[in-house]
Amino acid sequence: MTIDIARFASPLGTIITAVHDGRVCALEFEARWPRRRRALERRFGPLALRTSADPAGAVSALREYFAGRLDALEGIAVDPGGTPFQRRVWDALRGIAPGATVSYADLARRIGAPAAVRAVGAANGANPVCLAIPCHRVIGADGSLTGYAAGVQRKRWLLAHERAGRRAA
């Protein structure tokens, strides 16, 4: 299986994007890439990684997002894999507008599973396509910035970036 990859130097560190059949199957910060690659190998089997300048336009979208066009990632096609439940959560995440936040309980209600708050949190943490599937927009019921696989400091930065861009619009 051939996967096209590219590296993007963001204000938060290098991000690696992986594309299969024209859809982003992974978007991950570099330090977490070895783990994500193993997950891709479990999903697809042995991988051949091919460096590409801008697979599926993901690098261009990342560049635009960090430059302040906050909806730039909404247009990229994603293929995160996952279970049917995870895909429901991830689809719902894509419906959260930049600058907005929801709680885990809100997200559970949105997908019609109000008692599945912990499972929603687990799906959030398993998200293989960060930023494009904006799991950073989910916060604790009390408004706290609860866990983010790439680090709460990055979550804080991303939310501030989106709110600043939203106010300027």
* 84-168 placed in CATH 1.10.10.10: yes
SS3 9: strand
The percentage of residues in the chain with a pLDDT greater than 70, rounded to a whole number, is 96
Q: How far apart are CA 141 and CA 145, in angstroms?
A: 10
What are the percentages of helix, strand and coil residues in the chain, rounded to 5?
Answer: 45, 20, 35
Averaged pLDDT score across all residues of the chain: 94
Task: Supply the pLDDT for residue 133.
Answer: 97
Tokens found for residue 107: 């997200």
The residue type found at 41 is: E
Could you tell me which of 68, 81, 70 has the C-alpha nearest to residue 24? 81
Least confident of 24-38, 89-103, 155-169: 155-169
Contacts of 67 (CB under 8 A, 6+ apart): none
Report yes or no: 50 and 2 within 8 Å, Cβ to Cβ.
Answer: yes
Residues with catalytic roles: 135
DSSP conformation letters of 56-113: GGHHHHHHHHHTT-TTGGGGS-B-----HHHHHHHHHHTTSPTT--EEHHHHHHHTT-
Entry pTM:
0.93
What confidence score (pLDDT) does residue 165 get? 56
Mean pLDDT over 76-84 rounds to 97
CATH 1.10.10.10 intervals, the chain: 84-168
Q: Which part of the chain has CATH 3.30.160?
A: 2-75
> Is the Cβ–Cβ distance between 26 and 44 less than 8 Å?
no
Mean pLDDT value across residues 41-47: 96
Which two three-digit tokens encode residue 7? 């590296």
Confidence of residue 147 (pLDDT cuts 50, 70, 90): confident
Q: Which two tokens stand for residue 98?
A: 């930049």
pLDDT given for residue 166 in this prediction: 53
- 2-75, what's its fold? Double Stranded RNA Binding Domain (3.30.160)
Find the mean pLDDT for residues 108-137: 96
